[in-house]
């Protein structure tokens, strides 16, 4: 581990930048030709840093038409999230889904009247990946760039890679991506390649230095020395008391040479760094650079100039809806260490909750016989529904992670387990709707949203904890009116799951 204060000593202090300055810059560039960012979110946890934006779990042209109309009618910030769930797909499936989404978004934009005479709605694309560097990179930005060029003839000059997520302790300094310590390790930095996330069965990696990570993941297509690195000297070029325009110019100047999807990585430690970067990217695009973004959760918030939303209160979580008298449903699928610790704290503190385990070994054994698997799931549902009549229910998969050395086989196991979780949630919803639903884990929360709760369109209302854990308000389907909490597997401290549950529960 390294002390953060020592690593930062070599760089200037951050530049204070109001979010409104970024919003004004983006508005100015959109005055004659409105622009909306379409965020292809590889799991739904990317929404935890934003508020009051539309989110789609389907991506037909009509779905984008609804989202673009919602933004225009409500004067919402210009971004829409699309839940791709590609982190649970194999590369071929992920590529096909990215291409379909981009084509449909462009088709919807072409047919949209943005309100300015003679103008057309422009679409920018964001590929939202994981702040711990897992996911289909460089596949997803490659497919987006190729599809945009095929449809519009416009080539991509650079792919801006910003995995940092300061709210959750992920920062990039000197071109190296780190995880901040907590508790006794507060103030210490661990290179992310030395964490459990780098050992992921499907998306493992060896390098924390971002330029080398790019070379590793692109299998040498992009050499490390070809990557443009925007370190804190550039991001903070204006100095603590300087003009943010100085940093914006320095960043745009550094991107002048970007061509043919040149990878661009950026140091980020604070929200001000993200805003400084956003101003620089706005200036680069004003000069004509065509950029795609591969980013962690908070980038979009900064890029559109959105203020950091304070955490939602209990009243705000249920605002506009009448809460059910039933108990709440907490579904835990993630197996990373922090999730297991959070689950242990919740079960220890929430003595009124009923705890029901989905036995993964039994489920996988029953999968070979459809009737046996269906019968097992039916038993779980009956137990959940019975328990919801008197209080909250915690449904979790058994904590023994079953995986293989084969990435595709590991994904297949994950899908089987997730399908069972989805079936339990969906049957429960249609039998006895819960007061709220919390889904813990990326693949889990994606499948619960799209299939368990049958959400097609929703609004991200804001975070349940500072900077993390988002609340969706479903606007259609059987879950309409039920707060849905998307809780990433790898964020928060040991108390976080209990804290969120406590805000929503009547029995905790």
Span 61-69, mean pLDDT? Answer: 97
Is residue 311 included in any domain, yes or no? no
Are both 117 and 265 inside the same structural domain? Answer: yes
**Predicted confidence (pLDDT) at residue 334 exceeds the cutoff of 80:** no
Are both 343 and 288 inside the same structural domain? Answer: no
Is residue 309 included in any domain, yes or no? no
Is residue 489 included in any domain, yes or no? yes
User: What does DSSP assign to residue 359?
Assistant: -
pTM of the model: 0.91
**Predicted confidence (pLDDT) at residue 18 exceeds the cutoff of 90:** yes
Give the pLDDT band of residue 324 (cuts 50, 70, 90).
confident
pLDDT value at residue 8: 96
pLDDT value at residue 23: 97
pLDDT value at residue 54: 98
CATH (domain of 400):
3.40.980.20
Domain of residue 139: give its range: 2-303
Is residue 67 included in any domain, yes or no? yes
pLDDT value at residue 365: 73
**Predicted confidence (pLDDT) at residue 158 exceeds the cutoff of 70:** yes
Count of structural domains, the chain: 2
Lowest mean pLDDT among 361-370, 443-452, 470-479, 497-506: 361-370
pLDDT value at residue 401: 58
Q: Where are the alpha helices (DSSP H) in 433-504?
A: 442-447, 496-504
Span 397-402, mean pLDDT? Answer: 65
Is residue 372 included in any domain, yes or no? yes
Task: For 176, list phi and psi in degrees, rounded to 5.
Answer: -110, 135
pLDDT value at residue 115: 62
pLDDT value at residue 120: 78
Q: CB of 421 within 8 A of CB of 446?
A: no
**Predicted confidence (pLDDT) at residue 403 exceeds the cutoff of 80:** no
CA distances from 39 to 9, 203, 464 (A): 35, 21, 21
CB-based burial of residue 388 (10 Å sphere; 0-12 exposed, 13-18 middle, 19+ buried)?
buried
Q: CB of 48 within 8 A of CB of 135?
A: no
pLDDT value at residue 441: 85
CATH (domain of 190):
3.40.50.10840
Give the pLDDT band of residue 367 (cuts 50, 70, 90).
low
Q: CB of 308 within 8 A of CB of 372?
A: no
**Predicted confidence (pLDDT) at residue 49 exceeds the cutoff of 80:** yes
Give the pLDDT band of residue 405 (cuts 50, 70, 90).
low
Among residues 303, 333, 355, which one ends one of the domains? 303
Q: What percent of the chain has pLDDT over 90?
A: 76
Among residues 247, 278, 303, which one ends one of the domains? 303
Give the pLDDT band of residue 380 (cuts 50, 70, 90).
very high
pLDDT value at residue 359: 84
pLDDT value at residue 387: 97
Lowest mean pLDDT among 115-124, 245-254, 353-362, 478-487: 115-124
Span 385-409, mean pLDDT? Answer: 80
238-297 confidence digits (pLDDT tens) = 987 789 999 999 999 999 999 999 999 999 999 999 999 999 999 999 999 999 999 999
Q: CB of 34 within 8 A of CB of 115?
A: yes
pLDDT value at residue 404: 65
Q: Which residue has the higher pLDDT, 67 or 367?
A: 67
**Predicted confidence (pLDDT) at residue 371 exceeds the cutoff of 80:** no
Q: CB of 453 within 8 A of CB of 474?
A: yes
Q: What percent of the chain has pLDDT over 70?
A: 95
Are both 267 and 334 inside the same structural domain? Answer: no
pLDDT value at residue 96: 98
CA distances from 106 to 19, 99, 101, 480 (A): 28, 11, 9, 29
Are both 279 and 333 inside the same structural domain? Answer: no
Are both 245 and 352 inside the same structural domain? Answer: no
163-215 confidence digits (pLDDT tens) = 999 998 999 999 999 999 988 888 899 999 999 999 988 899 999 999 999 99
pLDDT value at residue 116: 57
Are both 225 and 133 inside the same structural domain? Answer: yes
Mean pLDDT (the chain, rounded): 92
Return the SS3 of 33: coil
Span 370-399, mean pLDDT? Answer: 88
Burial 233-244 (b: 16+ CB within 10 A, else e): ebbbbbeeeeeb
Are both 366 and 272 inside the same structural domain? Answer: no
pLDDT value at residue 388: 97
Are both 90 and 31 inside the same structural domain? Answer: yes
Among residues 303, 327, 350, which one ends one of the domains? 303
């Amino acid at each position: 581990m390294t002390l953060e204060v020592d690593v930062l000593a070599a760089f200037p202090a951050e530049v204070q930048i109001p979010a409104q300055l970024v919003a004004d810059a983006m508005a100015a560039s959109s005055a004659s030709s409105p622009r909306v960012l379409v965020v292809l979110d590889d799991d739904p946890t990317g929404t935890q840093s934003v508020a009051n934006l539309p989110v789609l779990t389907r991506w037909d042209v009509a779905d984008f038409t609804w989202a673009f109309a919602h933004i225009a009618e409500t004067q919402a910030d210009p971004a829409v999230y699309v839940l791709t769930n590609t982190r649970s797909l194999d590369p071929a499936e992920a590529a096909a889904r990215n291409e379909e989404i981009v084509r449909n978004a462009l088709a919807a934009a072409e047919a949209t009247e943005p309100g300015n005479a003679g103008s057309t709605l422009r679409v920018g694309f964001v590929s939202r990946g994981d702040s711990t560097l897992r996911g289909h990179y460089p596949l997803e930005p490659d497919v987006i760039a190729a599809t945009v060029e095929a449809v519009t003839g416009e080539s991509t000059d650079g792919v801006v890679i910003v995995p940092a997520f300061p709210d959750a302790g992920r920062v990039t300094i000197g071109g190296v991506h780190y995880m901040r310590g907590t508790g006794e390790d507060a103030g210490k930095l661990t290179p992310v390649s030395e964490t459990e996330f780098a050992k992921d069965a499907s998306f493992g990696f060896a390098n924390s230095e971002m330029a080398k990570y790019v070379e590793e993941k692109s299998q040498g297509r992009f050499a490390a020395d070809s990557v443009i690195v925007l370190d804190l000297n550039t991001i903070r070029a204006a100095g603590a008391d300087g003009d943010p325009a100085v940093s914006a110019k320095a960043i745009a100047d550094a991107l002048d040479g970007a061509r043919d999807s040149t990878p661009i990585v950026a140091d980020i430690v604070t929200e001000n760094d993200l805003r400084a970067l956003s101003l620089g990217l706005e200036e680069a695009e004003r000069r004509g650079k065509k950029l795609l973004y591969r980013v962690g959760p908070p980038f979009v918030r900064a890029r559109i100039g959105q203020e950091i939303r304070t955490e939602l209160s209990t009243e705000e979580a249920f605002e506009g809806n009448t809460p059910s008298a039933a108990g709440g449903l907490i579904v835990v699928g993630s197996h990373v260490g922090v999730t297991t610790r959070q689950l242990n704290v919740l079960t220890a503190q929430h003595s009124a909750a009923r705890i029901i385990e989905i036995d993964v070994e039994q489920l996988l054994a029953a999968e070979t016989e459809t009737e046996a698997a269906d019968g097992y799931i039916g038993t779980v549902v009956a137990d959940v529904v019975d328990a919801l009549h008197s209080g909250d229910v915690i449904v979790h998969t058994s904590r023994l992670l079953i995986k293989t050395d084969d990435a595709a086989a590991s994904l297949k196991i994950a899908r089987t387990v997730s399908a069972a979780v989805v079936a339990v949630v969906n049957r429960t919803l249609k039998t006895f709707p819960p007061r709220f639903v919390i889904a813990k884990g990326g693949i889990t929360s994606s499948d619960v949203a799209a299939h368990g709760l049958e959400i097609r369109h929703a609004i991200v209302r804001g975070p349940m904890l500072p900077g993390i854990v988002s609340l969706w308000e479903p606007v259609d389907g059987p879950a309409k009116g039920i707060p849905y909490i998307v809780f990433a597997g790898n964020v928060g401290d040991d108390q976080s799951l209990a804290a969120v549950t406590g805000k929503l529960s009547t029995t905790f």
